[in-house]
Structure 1
Amino acid sequence: MDVIVVGAGPVGLALAAELALAGVSVRVLERRDSADPAMRAQSINVPTAEALDRRGLLPALERIQRETLGAPGFRFTGHFAGMSLGPGLVDWADPELAAHTAVEGARMIPQPRLEEVLAGHAERLGVVVRRGVEVTSLEDTGQGVVVGTASGSLRAGWLVGCDGGHSTVRRLAGIPFPGTNPEITGYQAVVDIADPGKLTAGWSWSPRGVYRYGPQPGRVATVEFDGGPADRSAPVTLADVQSSLRRVSGTDVTLTAFRAAPTRWTDNTRQASTYRAGRVFLAGDAAHVHPPFGGQGLNLGVGDAVNLGWKLAAVVSGRSPEALLDTYDAERRPVGAWVLDWTRAQIGILRGDPKSGVLRGVLADLLATRDGTTYAVKQIAGVTQRLPLPGSHPWTGRYVPDVPLSNGTRLADHAHGGGFLLLDRTPGAVFGGRAHGRARVIRDDGTGVAGALIRPDGVVVWATDTPDAHGLDEALSRWAS
């Protein structure tokens, strides 16, 4: 096969689907016998939702959000270090928010449900997932990779490790994983509570730690600054969660049962020294780990997958030189480093000591302003991300906004098959005539931006407000050769 992907979580499935969509033969290996039921991220950001929208999965996501919330009209804002961001304070007319509204009804997506959607998408594209297969050895021959398993060896041209924070692929590839050690233990669970009146809804702080109760019935989360768990891999018991909740809440609350598989987590924060070693790549938690606030790790991993997928497919097919793969690390590493710092900052604010409490009060004042809340919501939503690409147009280097077309469709509706899109709103199709089969030309009579070249991952690499095609040929040659 062309590519082996190790790990069948959301990142591995998203990557495998992107590769298969581009005609690459791919096999997914997963050591677990079934999908992980543990409670993890409860939402996705705008770039993740839009990436799935571009593949025709928006209706499925909207259906899940309706089932999750049971009511329409929800606007996701999130929180920063437990400080909720009120929707009423957000400037929803802010250009960066207003340009990405099509996926508003598809953000509250629990990770297990997202995994179901991606698994179905990958299966429809012919992706084979082999479960119960654990990788035991790895050899990069320079011409391909040989992957050893208990069931025998497999050969492929390339290998991508999407196998989590304790990545076997990263270890076998010898890629260092520097960062900071944990100082907290966190639990998250949905439980039955005998005496829920003893808990306060929302986030509550004490010198012993922090806990959250809600917003879903029975959902609890705790954070204790205890130096991290002695054994993070040990099974999480009801007694573990109850003891932690009692310590941080100062109550004798009683939990009677789990409704969903619980999770234990820490603020262990690390980033791989490189996302590529020869013919081996890392994506998702295999490349970066950090506290799970706001589901940023899930979103960061899906961003890795859609960035790498089309590039690796272009090299495998011979359409692009291998040098294109160097842009994966160059583009995704800065985004990963920002997320690590964003979550580290929240740990500092969450601490129960007096100095952190005062700092939390100052930040709370800032987040109670329209500008402060809007800034935080934009960061959490992911709409401010920009890659350092040449070009002065405001769209260049950003994820393409939602673009309604004059024929009643949206630009995203034309991206279901992958590949490059070239939006052309010039009389006589000045831009489209230069594509020469390297991009699908979308003619439109609407107003606004005159032309834009969009990569398969939704990143705009060229845009203009005039009929001048300056820079288009260079962009096509660099990215869509």
Structure 2
Amino acid sequence: MELLPRGVVVIAGGGPIGLLLARVLSFYGVKSKLFERNKTTTKWPKMDLTNARSMEIFRKLGLADDLRKQGVPPNIDQNVIISTGLSAEKPLTQWDLPGVDRFRSQIQNTNDGTQPQEPWQRVSQAIFERWLKKICDDDPLIDLNYGFKIEHVEEHEGFAHTTIADVDTGERTVVRSDYVVGCDGASSRTRTSLSIPLDGGPIPSCALLVHFKSRDLAKLHKQGRFWHIFLLGQSGGFEGAIISQDEMDTWTTHLFLPLDAEPEKIESHHAVYRVLGGLYEPYKFQIDEILVRSIWRPNVAVTHHWRSREGHVFLAGDSAHQNIPTGGYGMNMGIGDAFDLGWKLASVVNGEGGPGLLESYELERKPVALRNVERSHDHFKVHKELQMLLSGGDPRRVDADTEEARLLRQRVHEFYQSHDGENRDLGIEMGYWYNSLIILHQEDDGSEPFSDPRCYTPTTWPGGRPPHLFLSDGTPIFDKFGKHWSLLCFTETNVGQDYIVQAASDLGLSLSLINLSEEAQARALYERNLLLIRPDQHVAWRARAVESPAIVDAVLRTVSGRIVMGIRKAVSEDASLELK
């Protein structure tokens, strides 16, 4: 048995979530040992958009600018085309989505708190993983072990025991650690070892993915430059999609099929031509190289529990939740998992946080997963509705030069333009609130604000991500936040901030005091004089004033997980303590 030093975290799985978790732990000074059954990073394209909230996280970690160098150039927009096939003269409609430059201009010109700090970034997961692995390889706090598979995980006498096997020799080793995080995907051995069930499962269909190279841009861009094209099939339903991975020569198609279709018998070139042919004959063009192909089944599932019974094992990413690709929530949800769990584990290991932090992980992240899985299904239903719009005859009639066709195309256009949230739903990405025992509410917080999946509504309601805006000198307010905890103060008057700073020092809690009393716009958006911001940029607590050192101590102990109960219960024994 290999006995790891106290505080070293074992990570099962070296995909994007496992690698990112290792980096988050390192960012906060904690060592990790990662095991991945494959000998290198993925060849599969998988995810192709790192969303705006994820890019805010990468900025916090100091990685955003370097990640952008790996992806699609910022000047290229990312149109999404809805098409009956590339043989048609023009698409049915399209969503005009901005590239990074246009999105950044939108953010700078809309300084009202509704926008993210960072635009999204297109980058294939195959590239993303290689980039992140190199960063982790160079990090002295991260020990990467590729070519070792996880066979079993269990809790025993206050530790986690992980059985690993060398994929070449079969030699087994048991590794003992304080904590294990299963980032080992949808078929997670970590999850199955602990007999944690899933709610949900596969959708009764399958897809044939073909990843290929082609420079035949004249034919591929026949209906215009694109990021995605969603295509109808011979049945008149949504049956395929193509993704431009790098705006040069790398593409991925997905051919959606019934379960009995025997996709293994469909030749790769023909699958690509069939997708792009849409309602018509296969659309042929020059394919230079087939890179990889695979058959996959869409899953919609969320695990019952995200941590083990004794609290030494956690699940993150696809091991905890799986959803269909529409909306791009899968890996981006996993990024949120890694950031949330990473700072909490580091706080506990470093002695700044108590067990309540780790208990809060499932309470905070599982509702986000449930919400996003449901929203992803809503996006998928938009494409399914297209078949209904074209029912009542030959679906190819929509491309005819007739008045009926023009009216039908207009209906399709209006429907898609009014249901275009698939990559625009900032409310889903940023407008959620954590609700756990380490989030504190005041009497004057009132009712929880309405959460619109479409739009992010600026609010500092505890548990949520606060609004981004540029301060009077042009500095993004998030860049003022500290690495650890931050206390934002929007008044020169002493309303208890000195108590908070002193209490944090007494508790050994790393806290940055940020005085923004001269920032009128920020003060209006942030709604209170005092706001306590967690390391993950979420609001832990807010108040107009606090007058008692005792209540400050209780607040800090609660938000840092040292009191595993609500603040009102914690202070109810002393009637002299009142929240302000």
Tell me which interval the TM-score lies in, with the shorter structure as reference length. 0.7 to 0.9
Q: Does 1:34 align with 2:40?
A: yes
Write out per-residue CA displacement over residues 264-316 of structure 1, whole angstroms, 9 at most, x where no aligned residue: 43322111111111321110011111212243111000111111112222233
Q: Percent identity?
A: 20
Give the match's secondary structure for 2:424. Answer: helix
Distance in 1, matches of 2:538 and 2:265, equals 41
Distance in 1, matches of 2:494 and 2:295, equals 56
8 Å Cα contact 1:160-1:283 kept in structure 2: yes
Stretch moving more, 288-297 or 390-399: 390-399
| Residue 345 (structure 1) aligns with | 378
Q: 2:155 aligns with which of 131, 140, 159?
A: 140
| Residue 212 (structure 1) aligns with | 241
Alignment of 1:412-427 (within 5 A): 412-413=478-479, 418-427=483-492
Distance in 2, matches of 1:428 and 1:308, equals 36
Alignment of 1:112-151 (within 5 A): 112-122=126-136, 123-124=138-139, 126-150=141-165, 151=172
| Residue 414 (structure 2) aligns with | 365
| Residue 287 (structure 1) aligns with | 320
Q: Does 1:245 align with 2:275?
A: yes
* CA 1:304–1:415: 2 relative to 1, 3 Å: same
* CA 1:149–1:250: 2 relative to 1, 3 Å: same
8 Å Cα contact 1:421-1:454 kept in structure 2: yes
| Residue 397 (structure 2) aligns with | none
Alignment of 1:184-195 (within 5 A): 184-192=206-214
8 Å Cα contact 2:299-2:324 kept in structure 1: yes
Q: Which of the pair has the greater relative contact order for Cα pairs under 8 Å at 6+ separation?
A: 1
Question: TM-score normalized by structure 1?
Answer: 0.83
Distance in 2, matches of 1:226 and 1:24, equals 47
Superposed displacement of residue 96, structure 1: 10
When the two structures are aligned, how many residues end up with a matched partner? 470
Give the match's secondary structure for 1:171. Answer: helix
Which residue identity is paired with 1:443?
N
Distance in 2, matches of 1:354 and 1:7, equals 40
**What root-mean-square deviation, in Å, do the aligned CA atoms of Structure 1 and Structure 2 show?**
4.0
Give the match's secondary structure for 2:214. Answer: strand
* CA 1:346–1:404: 2 relative to 1, 3 Å: closer
Give the match's secondary structure for 2:61. Answer: coil
Where structure 1 has 5 or more consecutive residues not aligned to the other structure, the ranges are none
Where structure 2 has 5 or more consecutive residues not aligned to the other structure, the ranges are 84-91, 166-171, 392-407, 447-458, 524-528, 563-580
Superposed displacement of residue 479, structure 1: 1.7
Q: 1:100 aligns with which of 109, 115, 121?
A: 115
Stretch moving more, 242-251 or 314-323: 242-251
Stretch moving more, 353-362 or 320-329: 353-362
Superposed displacement of residue 126, structure 1: 2.1
Q: 1:222 aligns with which of 254, 262, 267?
A: 254
Give the match's secondary structure for 1:274. Answer: coil
Greater C-alpha Rg: 2
Q: Does 1:302 align with 2:335?
A: yes
Distance in 1, matches of 2:390 and 2:371, equals 24
Distance in 1, matches of 2:536 and 2:79, equals 24
Distance in 1, matches of 2:16 and 2:383, equals 29
Superposed displacement of residue 87, structure 1: 4.4
Superposed displacement of residue 398, structure 1: 1.9
8 Å Cα contact 1:276-1:282 kept in structure 2: yes
Give the match's secondary structure for 2:29. Answer: coil
Which residue identity is paired with 2:68?
E
8 Å Cα contact 1:77-1:377 kept in structure 2: no
| Residue 167 (structure 1) aligns with | 188
Give the match's secondary structure for 2:158. Answer: coil
